[in-house]
């Protein structure tokens, strides 16, 4: 946006002034917001017009309207100011009790549903002014290994678009730090009173109509790979793109689904669901919080990283429906 010649004589306050006038649509109101005089704002706009070679704002009876150039610049300037604010805030001592920082955490939706309730509770007491932005981590289409599935999360950590990632990442490069939060395995979930839960078996599991959480609509998952190894197969009648929607549908239908244990146990009562041990060993994933070593030099990110480690209580298992030993 600004060439090297102009950058050396650019006053960052001019960008703050630009944003205020853009938001207010009025020089006088922008001056009040910035605690400046209207003439000071007008003078600053004059300098900015010379710098950017555009009128930027045109006067009207009700205030000012941005030019096409100003409209194009609004988002980039807002991004620059946000990044500068983040840099400055990370240089200040971090006190969670008074901090007004915003942190971004990336996680799959099933992990969000497990982590968010205790995180919000912890923040309410320890850091009441801290804000959190959650970004859903999505594995690339066709990924079959953990390394393929969560490599985009590591890229986002490198780019600092997220501060911390929470995902079933097993191996991480040396430039990152990982810490285990909990172990997640899969169980069978169905509505309360479902006939499958009364006498679960592998044969009955294969006879049922299945729901599968699939971001792409692909009806084949890791359960199908395990069934093939046993010379069996199932019918996936419905795919949905996220786990919370899956829980709601299971509550109202005769579908069954393999679901993450912690997620299902937390929400089973709310949705009226029954959790049943699977008729064969299913996948177990270690859920880890991951951050770059560079980001952990930021006292705020380091504090949040430690909070996540100590936040999750030990799981209290529900009473589970057992599978038949002859399954």
Q: Which structural domains are found in the chain, ordered by start?
A: 4-91 (1.10.10.10), 102-183+285-311 (3.40.190.10), 185-283 (3.40.190.10)
Per residue in 283-324, pLDDT (tens digit) is: 888 899 999 998 998 999 999 999 998 887 555 555 555 544
The stretches in the chain having pLDDT less than 50 are 1-5, 323-327
Residue 313: its pLDDT value, please?
58
Query: Which element (helix H / strand E) includes 45?
Result: helix 38-52
Residue 311: its pLDDT value, please?
81
Residue 323: its pLDDT value, please?
46
CA separation for the pair 212, 257 (Å, rounded)? 6
CA separation for the pair 162, 154 (Å, rounded)? 9
CA separation for the pair 74, 76 (Å, rounded)? 6
How big is the chain by its Cα radius of gyration, in Å?
26
Tokens of 301: 């990110």
Which positions ≥6 away from 97 have C-beta within 8 Å?
A: 126, 127, 128
Q: Give the three-state DSSP class for 213.
A: strand
Tokens of 184: 């997640």
Question: 285-311: string of b/e by CB count within 10 Å (b at 16+)?
Answer: bebbbbbbeebbebbbbebbbebbeeb
Tokens of 323: 């599978």
Is 53 in contact with 115 (CB distance < 8 Å)?
Answer: no
The whole-model pTM stands at 0.67
Is 87 in contact with 101 (CB distance < 8 Å)?
Answer: no
CA-nearest of 259, 246, 242 to 185 is: 259
Is 70 in contact with 22 (CB distance < 8 Å)?
Answer: yes
């Amino acid at each position: 946006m600004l060439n090297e010649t102009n950058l050396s004589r650019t006053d960052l306050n001019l960008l703050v002034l630009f944003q205020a006038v853009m938001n207010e649509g009025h020089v006088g109101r922008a001056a009040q917001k910035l605690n400046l005089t209207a003439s000071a704002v007008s003078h600053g706009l004059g300098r900015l017009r010379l710098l950017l070679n555009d009128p930027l704002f045109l006067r009207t009876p009700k205030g000012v309207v941005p030019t096409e150039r100003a409209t194009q610049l609004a988002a980039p300037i807002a991004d620059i100011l946000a990044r500068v604010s983040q840099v400055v805030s990370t240089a200040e001592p971090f006190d969670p009790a008074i901090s007004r920082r915003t942190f971004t955490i990336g996680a799959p939706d099933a992990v969000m549903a497990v982590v968010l309730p205790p995180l919000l509770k912890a923040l309410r007491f320890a850091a009441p002014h801290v804000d959190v932005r959650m970004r859903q981590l999505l594995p690339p289409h066709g990924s079959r290994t953990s390394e393929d599935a969560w490599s985009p999360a590591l890229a986002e950590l490198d780019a600092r678009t997220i501060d911390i990632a929470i995902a079933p990442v097993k191996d991480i490069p040396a430039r990152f730090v990982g810490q285990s939060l909990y172990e997640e395995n899969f169980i069978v979930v169905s509505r309360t009173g479902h006939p499958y839960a009364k006498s679960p078996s592998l044969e009955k599991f294969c006879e049922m109509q299945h729901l599968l959480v699939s971001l792409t609509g692909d009806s084949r998952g890791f359960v199908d790979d395990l069934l093939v190894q046993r010379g069996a197969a199932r019918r996936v009648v419905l795919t949905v793109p996220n786990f919370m929607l899956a829980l709601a549908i299971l509550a109202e239908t005769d579908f069954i689904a393999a679901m993450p244990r912690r997620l299902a146990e937390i929400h089973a009562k709310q949705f009226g669901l029954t959790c049943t041990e699977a008729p064969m060993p299913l996948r177990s994933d270690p859920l880890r919080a991951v951050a770059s070593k560079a980001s952990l030099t930021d006292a705020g990110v380091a504090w949040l990283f430690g909070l996540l480690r100590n936040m999750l209580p030990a799981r209290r298992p529900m009473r589970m429906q057992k599978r038949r030993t002859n399954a």
